[in-house]
Amino acid sequence: MLRTFEIEPTAPQRGSVIWLHGLGASNHDFDPVIPELAAPDLRFVFPAAPTRKVTINGGAPMPAWYDILSFADPPLREHEPDVRESARELDALIEREHERGVAYENIVLAGFSQGGAMVLHAGTRFAHPLSGVLVLSGYLLLPDRLQAEHSPANLATPILMAHGRMDPVVPEFLAKKSQGLLTAAGHAVDYQLFHMGHSLCLEEVELIASWLRARFPART
């Protein structure tokens, strides 16, 4: 099981958010964002990626969900065995939340950059309906496998893709192409662009907060 940092709910729990960090980053990167989301009834689970060598960074070892071979078209873009391994680890975290009493349909997958790519990969393939998939500055992994591998259980699961128009790390065209492939496969995708690079901005954080409120509407 991956090592995790968790922020427990301060109100009766209604769901869980499993949030994956980006390449070379830490599972504490998004600590400052959580208070801005005003979601006291959610548990936030931040797993830490294993350290592995990353080809596009000169083979330097760093926290990474998978080795990135290039940003060219498939099949030689990401190291598939790493993607499969990380997907299994993410599935295990989903199952752990389920065993802790959280229904699958109350679990959100979220991730930034490489983490966003991973949650999109795993979320579209998971065998049970999830609450939603939040992809921040991410893209579709192994796109040529989507049609054969995606799960009918999550066709209606809301996917929010938020991206920067000026992103120099994950170019916007790559996210846009991913959206097109997902939509063609029948997935429900909300695609939002922001005037930013490879980062988060205030307007994006506000969108995330409202999107989470839609997943867990106030009780009446």
- Any idea which residues carry the catalytic annotation? 113, 167, 198
Report yes or no: 99 and 93 within 8 Å, Cβ to Cβ. Answer: no
Torsion of CA 100, 101, 107, 112, to 10 degrees: -20
Residues sharing a CB contact under 8 Å with residue 217, sequence separation 6 or more, in sequence order: none
Q: How many CB atoms lie within 10 A of CB 73?
A: 10
The separation between the first and the last C-alpha atoms of the chain, rounded to the nearest angstrom, is 37
Q: Which residues pair with 46 in a beta bridge?
A: 5
Query: 3-class SS at 20?
Result: strand
Identity of the residue numbered 80: E
Distance, C-alpha 103 to centroid of its chain: 19
